[in-house]
Structure 1
Amino acid sequence: MSTLRFHAVKASINRKPLKIKIDKRRSEIFGANVFNEAAMRQYLTKTALNSVLEAIEKGTKIDRLVADHISTGMKEWAISKGATHYTHWFQPLTGATAEKHDAFFETIGNGLAIEKFGGDQLVQQEPDASSFPNGGIRNTFEARGYTAWDPTSPAFIYDDTLCIPTVFVSYTGEALDYKTPLLRALQAVDTAAVAVCKYFDKNVKKVSASLGWEQEYFLIDSTLAASRPDILLTGRTVFGHHPAKGQQLDDHYFGTIPARALAYMRDLEHHCMLLGIPAKTRHNEVAPNQFELAPIYEEANLAVDHNTLLMDIMQKIAKRHNFTVLMHEKPFAGVNGSGKHNNWSLSTNTGVNLLSPGKTPMSNLQFLTFFINTIKAVQTHEELLRAAIASASNDHRLGANEAPPAIISVFIGEQLTKVLKELETVTKGKLSPKEKTDLKLNVVGKIPEVILDNTDRNRTSSFAFTGNKFEFRAVGSTANCANPMTILNTIVAKQLMDFKIEVDELIDKKNMKKDDAIFNVLREYIKTSKAILFEGNGYSEAWEKEAKKRGLSNNKTTPEALKVKMDKTTLNLFNDLGVMNKVECEARYEIEMEDYILHIQIESRVVGDIARNHVVPTAVRYQNILIENVTGLKAIYGDRFKDFAKEQMALIEEISQHIEAINSLVTKMTEERKVYNKQANIEKKADGYCNKVKPLFEEIRYHCDKLEIMIDDELWPLTKYRELLFTK
């Protein structure tokens, strides 16, 4: 074992769990570092409090004079908690979070100073932030960018800083972040869903999208991670032979949580409580050293903020425990990768989950309306939904037998399939009295007892109904949830708007009763949405063939998947609903394509570096040892040495073949990279990196991994899978 490897493994084995002392109940500390309603009631005037609450509930603007009162109260609260700085906390198009800290401290002359934080600093700032991806929206000489307070997501204190969630827009108003389009999409689905809810309950005034994410991740000892250049630079292992034991025994899944990992989780969850992140569930995942954290569901915008915040604090807390958190979708070959299931639903201000079956025929008609419209939205925009989860890292995971395939399908279970089939048989036009009775008794009236105990899960489906919500399983673990949530809420909003137009037309022009009109439109949606429904094994080759027959897309790579974002239908969809204009859509397309290229480019360089600077020199060193051995045998046995050195000679030859292949392939990969680096067209460049550069990774890996099991373990420089995955 190489010296670096030896010391890394030794340090990891000798680690002891960090003792975390937690004195208070979670309910007592939950939200202690959040400027929530309880804190606002203590630090704000009644006028200021009502202004914030109205902004949250109704979207009304906050007067600048009132903002001064709010900022004063917020500052006093923050200082009482030990904060010395404030920052506008935003989510640029890097997918991470961003912040620039300013002190409350201000000088007032004569050697005096005060703590100051006014309404102007709260509501809007100009951080410049010109180096973030912008897709051509901002020129270098026109680099102004503004952050503006989002009152629907409460401010919080992290370390010594008051963090104020904000949007990030250009000087001309275009969105430069993930939050702005999400807020617009949530407004669109709210407006569309309220209009449809009025068919069933006139008291509904607001519909909120809820999100429950499930964050999967790997915990690797920090010293072991630091010994792998590929993990440091790409977040995954580009080389590594499978260990004899992986996940085949299923002994890690839901098993006893290792002591060090549990200490980390306790510490992490404590910080989650302070920051108002409602962490609920923790468990071992399928792969060795893989885990999951899941919260209680929240309003979608807040849930997105909490997930992006969580990913940041996970890394910070990990350092205290000598861990590195790997969130890459596929950090290790041969074992499961990590996803981030997005559980989505819609709820009214009256407390009704629109995707939960009710106890009366009317509430179940409402359920069926939103249930079927969601399916119809996915059927119509399945390519766009696939694009929502496209990334270089998620391409490694989709369809790899632990994640849904690149084909988008909807799973609803046997019982609901039966319900839709019955609804489909309703005759066209006005319903007869018998049909109305049959529908209410046999279809609508029986849904509660059917659903409660008979809804199954299908882990191979990318979009599955699970009793009172849809689970979008294909989202990658590194993703910012805002992207898939923006697209999902947009397509559902559009579908609900179309549904209302069709129903109103039947009521107004055909003189149909409301229920008859709703049933007629839903019946047609069931017929036109059949192609997206699939109950079988999404991993099978048979499904690929069947999906093709049904006309479903199967965009296996990010460049393929993203092209739909430039489709005229997509551009019109976002523009018409006010979610993104054409400039914003085009900018995001360019940014996402460029991001893909850069990720593959970095991985390519890492592959070439490790192959030539680590693997090949080690192979040559071991080969020299074998040559010395053969030379010694020849000196002892003369011409008979071949009888005693057959294995060594064969090994020397095989090593030479692998070395030659590695050098040849790395040279080819480098040349291909040079060709496409000169390509000005971003689509051709991305396609080149995808189809010419990236395929060489696996070919180079094959030869490197073969050398790993041939070369003396004492010499091998890279920490092996068995050490990375099984050192607790």
Structure 2
Amino acid sequence: MTSSARKRAVWSIASQPFTVPELVKEDLIKEVYGKDVFSLSVMKEYLPKHSFLKLQHTIKDGMALDPAIADDVANAMKQWALKQGASHYTHWFLPLTGSTAEKHDSFVEPDGQGGIVMNFSGKNLIVGEPDASSFPSGGLRSTFEARGYTAWDPTSPAFIKRGRNGATLCIPTAFCSYTGEALDKKTPLLRSIQAVGRQISRILHCFGESVDAKPEVTLGTEQEYFLIDKRLYSCRPDLVQCGRTLFGAPPPKHQQLDDHYFGAIKPRVLAFMTEVDLALWRLGIPAKTRHNEAAPAQFEVASMHEELNLAVDHNMLTMEILQLIADRHGFVCLLHEKPFAGINGSGKHNNYSIGAGRLNFLNPGSNPHENAIFLTTLCAIIQAVDRHGDLLRAATAGVGNDYRLGASEAPPPIISIFLGEQLTDVIEQIEHGGATSSKKGDFMRIGVDALPPLPRDTTDRNRTSPFAYTGNKFEFRAPGSSHSCAGSNIVLNLIVAEALDEIATTLETAPPTEFHDVLQKKLQSIIKTHKRIIFNGDNYHRDWISEAEKRSLPHYRTTPEALARFITPENIALFEKYQVLSRAELLSRYEVFMDDFRTRTKIDGELALSLARTIIFPAVSKQLGRYGHDAGALQRAGLTAEVQQEMMTRINREFQEASQAANALEQILIDFDAQQVIMALQRLRRSVDKLEKLIDDDLWALPKYREMLFLY
């Protein structure tokens, strides 16, 4: 790693040819959309009619899968996949690593006569048997207990993953141990969807709605990411190993002028985005929005709402496609929450709603009946978020997100709800029964009065709130960009299920003539107890921390503090009550996530120490030597060397501080305390970043922020 490598990278970027984005016409979009998905239309074409109808009931209505159709489905998948050019299949799953996993098997089997047949059976489709010992399990599996199972999830369609030299049929699956515990993120997600679905059906029944409609939880994701040139990335060992810069001084100009946000997209980036969109559309992922984000070199892609389980799978694919296609365009896609200190971090906004059929419980509607369901759901979510803000914070915990949350570009790690003035006014009317200018009459009775007109966007947006109502959904802004959506939505489903359960239990015992009075009193009680969670102000302002403390809202600043909330007795009991995770499964996840936090922190610390001593410090020594040589030459010529002496003094002072910080970090790494390592890293970085501004540019080997964030 030398300064000459950095300079060659900069020169080659500056001299690269102009990129012209591909022209994408309507016919092409229609032709490719869903082309690589084993969709219902494809199933209908390839499956016998009776098998198709049974599988359709499983997918659309949640009916149990009939094992008798497994061979038909497997054969149809195989025929379709071979036609798409696939030679292999894999059970695609979401282990606790936070990424995806796959083991490829070919369709090829010997026919016993020197030839082959292409085979894929119902058994191959339904169950796989990957090694479970090498995935993190928090003690649920050990090295000598290797057996694990993948089980087909028919509600998320199979798809084709394409590479440069082939294609693979990917079958979304759950992953569990030989003894039945969940080893993945999909299994508890499916359990949580089932848990909240039961309560949605009960609420529908309470309000006299048809319970035939399948309960539904939907999600729309907004994925933020950075793009930097691969040539500069290759000169930054910290980005390669840690996904973030361990050193680097923000340049004089970065995002202060707000000139990147929603700005014109550069041609090279637009060419990348165009290919990303086409790849997503081929997989049936409804990519809708693309734009420049707040920081230079930061971007966003957003998808339309889908059924939650499918949306989670699609977001995992989106992250993978972003990284794959970035490589083809000479970029590296950074999904770390805070790749550049002092610059905006990246999140994954989680747009959540629940309902059944065409009825969205978070849409106010236009009549008293729909208003009542909306307000009931709204109050349920207020209760859920206030009662279990600790779990929502735990679901977003991670060392990368610790650097982002509360850094004045993301919501703080204090969970609160933004409703806006109009909805807050409605909530206060329910609590107090007082008249306001936005409501006719002197008392709001749930299910009798109509709400004041509520447009889709009932209020101005609050980008500082971690949990904001945005028209017909709640936007949870705290999840990190690298995280699976599964964790946050498992918790959301769980806590909303509990709140709806309590409301339904109250309403089910109410005499029909007293239903609205009972509902009114229940919602009033919820608001009085939990209104402290509603905050419509500036969550970035330092006064919010003291205000939240007055309201007794929990503030878990670090990952260890937050993760500990998963394994409190009351939270274990909650997960077990709704059969989302057992005590053993929760304890295992706590161990896995804590080990991930410690391991990533240790990698950061060890690499920072290595970079400081093998790249930074030698450059500083050369700089001191240069100034010393120049000072000596000037003095021999009878001239003053005050400037050189002053620079030597300043550099040496920071050099000494950096050396002491490195020595302290080394000792802490030996004794290892993760939080102490993070503090020691920050101390070392402060000195190194000061040195970057004092050392000759041609001696500095690491590409600088001004290059990584602006040269692409």
Task: Give the TM-score normalised by the residue count of structure 2.
Answer: 0.96
CA–CA separation in structure 2 for the residues paired with 1:695 and 1:561 = 18
**What is the CA distance between 1:169 and its match in structure 2?**
0.2
Q: Which residue of 2 aligns with 1:672?
A: 668
Q: Counterpart of 2:589 in structure 1: which amino acid?
A: R
CA contact (8 A) 2:216 2:356 kept: yes
CA contact (8 A) 1:559 1:593 kept: yes
Q: Counterpart of 2:594 in structure 1: which amino acid?
A: M
Q: Counterpart of 1:104 in structure 2: which amino acid?
A: F
Residue 317 of structure 1: which of 312, 325, 332 is its match? Answer: 325
Q: What SS is found at the alignment partner of 2:352?
A: strand
Count residues with an aligned counterpart.
700
Q: Counterpart of 1:708 in structure 2: which amino acid?
A: E
CA–CA separation in structure 2 for the residues paired with 1:487 and 1:441 = 28
**What is the CA distance between 1:244 and its match in structure 2?**
1.1
**What is the CA distance between 1:30 and its match in structure 2?**
1.0
Q: Which residue of 2 aligns with 1:501?
A: 505
Give the alignment's Cα RMSD to 1 decimal. 1.8
**What is the CA distance between 1:129 and its match in structure 2?**
3.8
CA–CA separation in structure 1 for the residues paired with 2:188 and 2:447 = 42
Query: How big is each residue's C-alpha offset from its partner over 1:670-727, in whole Å with a ceiling of 9 and x where there is no partner?
Result: 2112113xxxxxxxxxxx311x111111111111111111111111111011000111
Q: Counterpart of 2:66 in structure 1: which amino acid?
A: D
Query: How big is each residue's C-alpha offset from its partner over 1:146-194, in whole Å with a ceiling of 9 and x where there is no partner?
Result: 0000000000001110000000000011000000000000001111111
CA–CA separation in structure 1 for the residues paired with 2:88 and 2:457 = 52
**What is the CA distance between 1:250 and its match in structure 2?**
0.6
Q: What SS is found at the alignment partner of 2:116?
A: strand
Instruction: Structure 2 unaligned segments of length 5 or more: list them.
Output: 435-439
Change over 3 Å in CA distance of 1:288–1:444 after alignment to 2: farther
Q: Which residue of 2 aligns with 1:157?
A: 160
Residue 121 of structure 1: which of 121, 124, 136 is its match? Answer: 124
CA–CA separation in structure 2 for the residues paired with 1:26 and 1:528 = 51
Match status 1:270 vs 2:281 = no
Q: Which residue of 2 aligns with 1:209?
A: 217
CA–CA separation in structure 1 for the residues paired with 2:286 and 2:402 = 30
**What is the CA distance between 1:55 and its match in structure 2?**
1.7
CA–CA separation in structure 2 for the residues paired with 1:258 and 1:474 = 29
Change over 3 Å in CA distance of 1:606–1:444 after alignment to 2: farther
Query: How big is each residue's C-alpha offset from its partner over 1:586-642, in whole Å with a ceiling of 9 and x where there is no partner?
Result: 0001111111001110110111111111110000011111111111122221xxx5x
Q: Which residue of 2 aligns with 1:714?
A: 698
CA contact (8 A) 1:669 1:693 kept: yes
Q: Which residue of 1 aligns with 2:87?
A: 84
Query: How big is each residue's C-alpha offset from its partner over 1:236-281, in whole Å with a ceiling of 9 and x where there is no partner?
Result: 1111111111111111110100100000000010010111111000
Q: Counterpart of 1:323 in structure 2: which amino acid?
A: F
CA–CA separation in structure 1 for the residues paired with 2:481 and 2:494 = 22
Q: Which residue of 2 aligns with 1:478?
A: 482
* Deviation beyond 6 Å, 4+ runs, structure 1: none
Query: How big is each residue's C-alpha offset from its partner over 1:192-217, in whole Å with a ceiling of 9 and x where there is no partner?
Result: 11101112243133211100010001
Q: What SS is found at the alignment partner of 1:84?
A: strand
Q: Which residue of 2 aligns with 1:629?
A: 630
Q: Which residue of 1 aligns with 2:641?
A: 645
CA contact (8 A) 2:260 2:294 kept: yes
Residue 678 of structure 2: which of 657, 681, 694 is its match? Answer: 694
Deviates further, 18-27 or 161-170: 18-27
Q: Counterpart of 2:578 in structure 1: which amino acid?
A: L
CA–CA separation in structure 2 for the residues paired with 1:588 and 1:711 = 45
Query: How big is each residue's C-alpha offset from its partner over 1:305-356, in whole Å with a ceiling of 9 and x where there is no partner?
Result: 000011111111111100000111111112211110000001212x011100
CA contact (8 A) 1:422 1:443 kept: no
CA–CA separation in structure 2 for the residues paired with 1:524 and 1:191 = 24
CA contact (8 A) 1:423 1:439 kept: yes
Q: What SS is found at the alignment partner of 1:213?
A: strand
Match status 1:27 vs 2:11 = no
**What is the CA distance between 1:512 and its match in structure 2?**
5.9
CA–CA separation in structure 2 for the residues paired with 1:252 and 1:93 = 35
Change over 3 Å in CA distance of 1:452–1:306 after alignment to 2: closer
Q: Which residue of 2 aligns with 1:376?
A: 383
CA contact (8 A) 2:446 2:519 kept: no
Q: Which residue of 2 aligns with 1:679?
A: none
Q: What SS is found at the alignment partner of 1:513?
A: helix
CA contact (8 A) 1:278 1:296 kept: yes
**What is the CA distance between 1:8 and its match in structure 2?**
0.8
Q: Which residue of 2 aligns with 1:684?
A: none
Q: Which residue of 1 aligns with 2:302?
A: 294
CA–CA separation in structure 1 for the residues paired with 2:449 and 2:384 = 22
Q: What SS is found at the alignment partner of 1:393?
A: helix
CA contact (8 A) 2:20 2:267 kept: no
Q: Which residue of 1 aligns with 2:462?
A: 458
CA contact (8 A) 1:389 1:474 kept: yes
Match status 1:439 vs 2:440 = no
CA contact (8 A) 1:416 1:451 kept: no
CA–CA separation in structure 2 for the residues paired with 1:502 and 1:251 = 53
Q: What SS is found at the alignment partner of 1:291?
A: strand
Q: Which residue of 1 aligns with 2:599?
A: 598
CA–CA separation in structure 2 for the residues paired with 1:441 and 1:95 = 43
CA–CA separation in structure 2 for the residues paired with 1:130 and 1:414 = 53
Query: How big is each residue's C-alpha offset from its partner over 1:629-682, in whole Å with a ceiling of 9 and x where there is no partner?
Result: 111122221xxx5xx111111211222222222222112112112113xxxxxx
Q: Which residue of 2 aligns with 1:348?
A: 356
Identity %: 45
CA–CA separation in structure 2 for the residues paired with 1:180 and 1:13 = 48
Q: Which residue of 1 aligns with 2:610?
A: 609
Residue 75 of structure 2: which of 66, 69, 72 is its match? Answer: 72
Q: What SS is found at the alignment partner of 1:109?
A: coil
CA contact (8 A) 1:423 1:443 kept: no
Alignment of 1:249-264 (within 5 A): 249-264=257-272
Q: Which residue of 1 aligns with 2:563?
A: 562
Q: Which residue of 2 aligns with 1:140?
A: 143
CA contact (8 A) 2:364 2:454 kept: no
Residue 432 of structure 2: which of 396, 416, 425 is its match? Answer: 425
Q: Which residue of 2 aligns with 1:491?
A: 495
CA–CA separation in structure 1 for the residues paired with 2:138 and 2:513 = 49
CA contact (8 A) 1:407 1:554 kept: yes
Deviates further, 142-151 or 9-18: 9-18
Alignment of 1:165-244 (within 5 A): 165-205=172-212, 206-244=214-252
Query: How big is each residue's C-alpha offset from its partner over 1:5-27, in whole Å with a ceiling of 9 and x where there is no partner?
Result: 11111122223326546464323
Q: Counterpart of 1:699 in structure 2: which amino acid?
A: R
Q: Counterpart of 1:461 in structure 2: which amino acid?
A: S
Q: What SS is found at the alignment partner of 1:341?
A: strand
Instruction: Structure 1 unaligned segments of length 5 or more: list them.
Output: 428-434, 677-687
Q: Which residue of 1 aligns with 2:437?
A: none
CA–CA separation in structure 2 for the residues paired with 1:703 and 1:443 = 66
Q: Which residue of 1 aligns with 2:514?
A: 513
Deviates further, 401-410 or 135-144: 135-144
**What is the CA distance between 1:437 and its match in structure 2?**
8.5
Deviates further, 657-666 or 340-349: 657-666
CA contact (8 A) 1:18 1:321 kept: no
